[in-house]
Amino acid sequence: MTDDNPGISRRTMVRGAAWSLPVIAVATAVPLAAASTGGTVNSEANYYWDAEAQGAFTTLVAAQDGLRATFSTQISYRATPWVNPPADASLVVVVVFDSPVTIDAGSSIGGWSATPGLGSTASSFTFVATPSGFGGALTFNVVGSAPGPLTSTATMSLLNGGTTTWAQESSAETATLIS
């Protein structure tokens, strides 16, 4: 009696298993990479600091008086090959000042929420954009407590998908507040 349906040969089975090993390895490594806290280099991240006009990733510019300064950054999105931004992700930017400032209650921060809120005094502010979309601009005004230098440092992270730049970027320069 002959078998009209010989099925899959042992050689075909081994060859298929050998080709699937790299796929399994990549599928296993991707969640580990996504869960890492270091991020990736700015030139390869999905969400990255986009240079401001002065060529820096963030800026802090003092006003001519009133102990005021303006913080600004631009975050952009890319994917190669192209995929839309993660629908349920939240983009988080933390801005830390070297001394307490009051975030101007009149600041228009677009689709970002601030903690503590506008009008609050603190050294650290967390801004969240949900959904993360294509990133965007974040600009707000602060009022310092004394004349002199004020320095800001910003970090970026993404909750629930994608990668952000690894870098903690200082503002382009320290602003000198004038009373």
Q: Which residue did the predictor score with more confidence, 107 or 155?
A: 107
In this prediction, residue 1 carries a pLDDT of 53
What's the CATH number where 97 sits?
Answer: 2.60.40.740
- Is 168 contained in some domain? yes
Confidence of residue 7 (pLDDT cuts 50, 70, 90): low
Q: Which domain holds residue 95?
A: 47-177
Contact 127, 71 (CB under 8 A): no
- Is 123 contained in some domain? yes
- Is 115 contained in some domain? yes
| Cβ within 8 Å of residue 54, ≥6 positions away | 172
Mean pLDDT calculated for residue range 130-149: 92
Question: Residue 113: beta bridge partners?
Answer: 128
- Is 6 contained in some domain? no
- Is 135 contained in some domain? yes
- Based on the structure, what is the number of domains in the chain? 1
